[in-house]
A and B are shown apart, each in its own frame.
Chain A
Amino acid sequence: MDGIHDMGGEQGWGSVGIDPNEKVFAEEWEGRAFALGAMSGGLSGTNLDAFRHSLERLHPLAYLQDGYYGRWLACAELLLVDSGIIAEGAVDARANNLLGNETPEPADPEVNKPQYERGGGGSLREIDDAPKFNVGDPIRARDMHVLGHTRMPAYIRGRSGTVKAHRPAAVLPDSTAHFTGEDAQHVYTVTFDATELWGPEAEPATLNIDLFESYMEPRS
């Protein structure tokens, strides 16, 4: 889906600086939010792709408001509410009570984890299909406008590139995130020239990106 998460090539975000003394977690809650986020996939019966999709489902202001670990917290909550582990509003009600208010807390919902089959742990899979593309093949990234989760960034859509490497097959995030099947596919690293992506005045550079086979079409 299109959204704030798809940042490649966007403008207006300012400059980048390195803080050499940065801590892993700047504040204590960030570590706990990380841990809860890391555990939320298992607790909710979802998966890594659903977690990444939950990042995209956040309101753009929520995406930015509390930084990276704020997103992890919000996504953990979203997946746990989706699966009926906790009720919608339960976190805010408890938080208000921790702040000394008297807020009624919602009753527990019915657990409703997604029912789907996994072909193994992790995301990589062995598949029998022959790869449709070979290293050196000219390809075009399909002009896809997916309503749900996808790992094809907008800045690649419709652009012409060349297959650089064949990588291990992996579950397709577009379907795995929605529990409709793993549809494991070949994955390729594809090379694009900066001028193909950003026009003739682009800064000279080469861009390599990993694309699932169904994101690609042959180009003559």
Chain B
Amino acid sequence: MTAMPDARPPAPIRTEALEALLTERGLVNADAINGLINRFVNDVGPMNGAKVVARAWTDPDYKERLLTDGTAAVGEFGFSGPQGEHIVVVENQEDMHNVVVCTLCSCYPWPLLGLPPDWYKDPAYRSRIVREPRTVLNEMGLALDDSVDITVWDSSAENRYFILPQRPAGTEELSEDELAALVTREAMVGVAQVGAPG
């Protein structure tokens, strides 16, 4: 185990120090670091997953492929890479709600949702969603009817779970792009539902 962290310099300075040590040794460079940051700030995020959901809502054949082989179906959009080796898509139903966690660290389907948000990494979420999911979902703003069963998926290996939310009523006339705009990160992890527009 590492030492008690009482007397270490602050994390921002230690980050600068480690980057400098590795840069001097020719092991990293600012372009590579900035490129990786830029990828996860601008190019990869919940907008990827939202496209997948909107396609599944509008194209029954795609939805079938998605539920059968998630990795291949999201690959049709070019979504692949680290933390996306094996994607399993789970569809929410009228009487069954699904929600995803990683109790041991914060495993998350990066190619579809980007890096995990604070609440997903919060010890309170990691500890409690497997034990009192209905209570936690309520706290997070999702009040499910008692008739809805809850299934929690703990991502303890290399399978990455992605929730296909229910399509809200009143969206029959919307285009795929308009539908995608309704889909939130929270709905694709299962701590929210997709609301009707307006």
User: CB within 8 Å of B: which residues of A?
Assistant: 5-11, 13-19, 22, 24-25, 27-29, 31-36, 38-39, 43, 52, 55, 57-59, 61-62, 64-70, 73-74, 76-78, 80, 85-86, 90-92, 94-96, 98-99, 122-124, 151-153, 155, 167-168, 170, 187, 189, 194, 197-198, 202-212
Contacts and interface: CB of A to CB of B under 8 A. Distances in A.
A-B pairs with lowest CB-CB distance, top 10: A8-B103, A94-B17, A210-B157, A95-B9, A29-B12, A13-B124, A95-B17, A31-B37, A10-B127, A62-B5
A15 B138 CA distance: 11
Contact of B9 (A13, A28, A92, A122): A92
Given A91-B17, A153-B103, A167-B159, A13 B5 contact: no
Contacts of A152: 156
B140 A17 contact: yes
A85 B153 contact: no
B159 A189 contact: yes
Chain B's interface size range is 35 or more
B31 to A, nearest CB: 11
A66 B2 CA distance: 15
Nearest to B157: A210
A152 B19 CA distance: 34
Given A9-B130, A16-B140, A85 B154 contact: no
B169 interface: no
Contacts of B22: 36, 43, 80, 85-86
Nearest to A108: B25
A1 B154 CA distance: 18
B153 A31 contact: no
Given A66-B11, A209-B156, A34 B115 contact: yes
Given A7-B127, A62-B2, A24 B153 contact: no
Contacts of B28: 36, 39, 43
Contacts, number: 248
A7 B126 contact: yes
Given A33-B15, A43-B22, A73-B18, A22 B123 contact: no
Interface of A is mostly: mixed
B2 A212 contact: no
A98 B119 contact: no
Nearest to B3: A59
Interface of B: 1-6, 8-22, 25, 27-28, 32-33, 36-37, 40-41, 45, 82, 85-86, 88, 103-106, 114-119, 121-128, 130-136, 139-141, 149-159, 186, 191
A138 to B, nearest CB: 19
Contact of B12 (A16, A27, A38): A27
B139 A73 contact: no
Contact of A35 (B36, B45, B104, B158): B36
A22 B118 contact: yes
Given A65-B5, A153-B103, A8 B37 contact: no
